[in-house]
Amino acid sequence: MSYAYRLAALKIESDLALPDLSPWDGSGISEPDISFRLGAVPPRLHEPDHSEAIFQTRGRDEYLLVLPGTGRILVRHGRQVTVELEHGADPINTCALLTGPIQAVLWHQRGLVPLHANAVVIGGRAVALAGTAAAGKSALAATLARDGHQPLADNLCVLDDAGKTAPAMVLPGVALLRLWRDTIEHLAIPADGMASALSGRDRFLVDRWSACREPRALAAVIVLVRRSSVALTIERLSGITALGALRDMVQMRRPASALGRSSEILGCLTRLLVVAVPVWRLQLPDDVSCLSDAAAEVLGALEQP
Amino acid sequence: MMASGIWWLASYPKSGNTWLRAVLCALISGKPADINRLSLLGGFAGSRSLFDAALGIESAALSRDQEFNLRPRVFEVMAAEAARPLYCKTHDACQATPAGEPLFPTAATRGAIYVVRDPRAVAVSLAHYQARPLDEAIAALDDPDAVSGGSTRRLSHHLRQYLRRWSEHVASWLDAPFPVHLLRYEDMQADPHAAFGAVAAFLGLSSDGAAIAAAIEATTFARLQAQEHAGGFIEKPHHAAAFFREGRVDGWRQALTREQAERIAAAHGAMMRQCNYDTQLGPLTARRGAA
C-alpha cells in the first residue's frame, strides 16, 4: 500500500504511514516529488566522503543513517528515501524520524535551509520561533496559535531564498503541532483521542488550529533560550552575534556540513541580515506558566520599528 | 587512548560535583570560576544539546533505548574532536547500555573523580533541590530504577540518566574499568587543600600549593552562593529556592528524624561503612517526630 501526502507544494509518496503530514489533495496522477520506499539499504556507502558515528555522506546527494533500533535510511538527491527497518522497529518513532531529521536532510539536498524552528503567521508574514531541543518552540507556537496566529511549520522551518535580494520565504511545513503533556495541560487542550508523536513519551500530535498552507515572507526570527533560573527578557541581536545565533539554529548542522552546504547556508543567513530581517533572542524561564507573557514579548518586539 | 580523552567528574546528585567543577575551573583557568560557565571544562554527559550536536541527529526523535544506546558514541565523538582533555560532569551510574556495552567507553576515558557524600546529607539536599518530601528523597536513594532528567511529560534539556540505588551508584564507579579517585565531600570540607591537592595530582594538573589555595579561596561556598544570588545559576531547577543552600556536612542531624536516618543506614550501611561513614547515629539535635 502506498500513501500520498503534501509537504509544502511537494507530493510525497510513501510505503509507510506518515500521520504527521497532510494527505495529498492535488492531482491523483502527478508524479511524486519525494518518495519514501521500503527496500534494501547497504550498511555503508561506497567510498563515503564523511563517515561519522551514525551517518555517512557522499557528495551532496547521498546520506546514509544507520540507527540501531530502527534500521538504515538512505536519502538520495533530495528525492528518494529508502528505508530498511529492523525487525520490531516502532512505526510511530520511525515516522518521527522520517518527518523530522530525514526531512531536514531532504531539504539540505534540495538546496534550501531548514531551521530548527516553528513558524507562525503574524500580520500576514512568517515569524520563526527558533531554538535547540527543549527550548519551548512548539509550546510558544501553540500559545500564539491559541491567540489567533496560524501555525505555518512545526520544529522545522524551511527557508527558500531563491529571490536572493528579498526576504526569504518560509514554506508551509508539518501542519500539526507536536506538543508535550505539560503544554497541553497548561493550555487546557482536550487530550482525548490525540495521536502519539513518540512512543513511550507523552508527546502528541495536536490538530487544533487551522495551519497556513501557503509560503509566507519571513518577517523575523526569534531565538528561544530556555533556562531554569532566568527572567523573561527579549533583546535584538545584530551583526556577528545575530549571524552566529542563526547559524546555531540550522537543522541537522553536522550532516549539512558533511553534505558541503556550510558556505551556501552562511550566504543565505547573511542575506537575511542584509535585507534587515530582525533577529531577537528571547530568554525564558523553564516554566510553562510564562508562555502567555513570552508570546506578549514576541508580539511587542514585532511592533518595534 | 587518544591524546585528549575524558576525565569524568562523577557523583550521585547533590554530592558536591558543582564545587569540584568550580575549583577545577579556577585551577585550570587561574581565574575565579563563573558558575554559569562551568561547562567550559567539558560539558555535562547528560546534555541533550551535546548529544544532538555530536551525533548530528535530534534525540527528541529517538526512543529512550535508542538514546541510551547511542550515548557511548557521543562520548567517543567528544573525545576524538577535543584538542585537550575534557572534564565532564556526570550523574549516571557507571553501567552498561541496554545494548550491553559500557556507557562510558574506556577508549574515550582517561579516568574519573568520584565524589561521594554521606547519603543522609544527600537525602536532605535532594529533598530541597527537588522540592519534595524527605521521605520521598530517602525512597529515591533506595530505588533501583531511580533516574534523573528526561521527564515523559515534557522535553527536558537533559537526557534520562539512570542513577540506580545510591549504594549501587557508588559501587558502579568504584568498580569502573579505568582509574578512579574517590573524593569524599566531607574531606573536601574538612581539609580542602589536601583533598583538592590529591585531585590535582590524580588529574596531572598543577599541584602547586599556592595555585590550589587560590582556587579554593575563589570558590568558597559563600562566594558560590553570592554568585547565585547575583546572577542566578543555570543548573538550578525552576522549583528549587536555591542551588547553593547550606553545604553543611552534618546538617542532616537537624533535618532527619532518627527513624529516617536509620532507614538510610539500614539500606546503605555496607557502602556507607566502606566509604568511612559512621552508621551509628549518636545524638540527633532537632527533629523528634515523624516527617
pLDDT in tens, A252-287: 999 999 999 999 999 999 999 998 899 999 999 988
Give the domain range for residue B217: 6-118+144-240
What would the CATH number be for the domain defined by A114-302?
3.40.50
AA identity, residue A190: P
- Identify which of A132, A181, A285 has the shortest CB distance to residue B238: A285
Does residue B287 have a pLDDT over 60? no
B86 within domain boundaries: yes
Show residues of chain B in contact with A182, CB under 8 Å: 153-154
Residue ranges, comma separated, of all CATH 3.40.50 domains in chain A are: 114-302
pLDDT band at B34 (very low <50, low <70, confident <90, very high): confident
Global pTM?
0.91
pLDDT of residue B36: 76
Grid coordinates in use for A223?
531565538
CATH at B199: 3.40.50.300
- Identify which of B55, B66, B153 has the shortest CB distance to residue A180: B153
B235 within domain boundaries: yes
pLDDT of residue B288: 44
Closest Cα of chain B to A165: distance in Å?
Answer: 31
Grid coordinates in use for B89?
560532569
pLDDT of residue B1: 45
pLDDT of residue A185: 93
For residue A45, how far is the Cα from the chain centroid? 26
For residue range A189-214, what is the model confidence (pLDDT) as tens digits?
987 888 888 888 888 999 889 999 99
Q: Give me the number of domains chain B comprises.
A: 1
B273 within domain boundaries: no
- Identify which of B49, B74, B152 has the shortest CB distance to residue A202: B152
CA separation for the pair A227, A236 (Å, rounded): 18
ipTM rounded to 2 decimals: 0.92
| 3-state class (DSSP) for residue A126 | strand
CA separation for the pair A218, A141 (Å, rounded): 15
Element (H, E) at B167: helix B166-174
The number of beta carbons lying within 10 Å of the beta carbon of residue A35 is: 16
Q: Does A88 touch chain B (CB under 8 A)?
A: no
B200 within domain boundaries: yes
For residue range A115-162, what is the model confidence (pLDDT) as tens digits?
999 999 999 999 999 999 889 999 999 999 999 999 999 999 999 988
Q: What is the DSSP letter of B44?
A: B
AA identity, residue A233: T
Residue B175 to residues A182, B129, B181, Cα–Cα distance (Å): 39, 28, 11
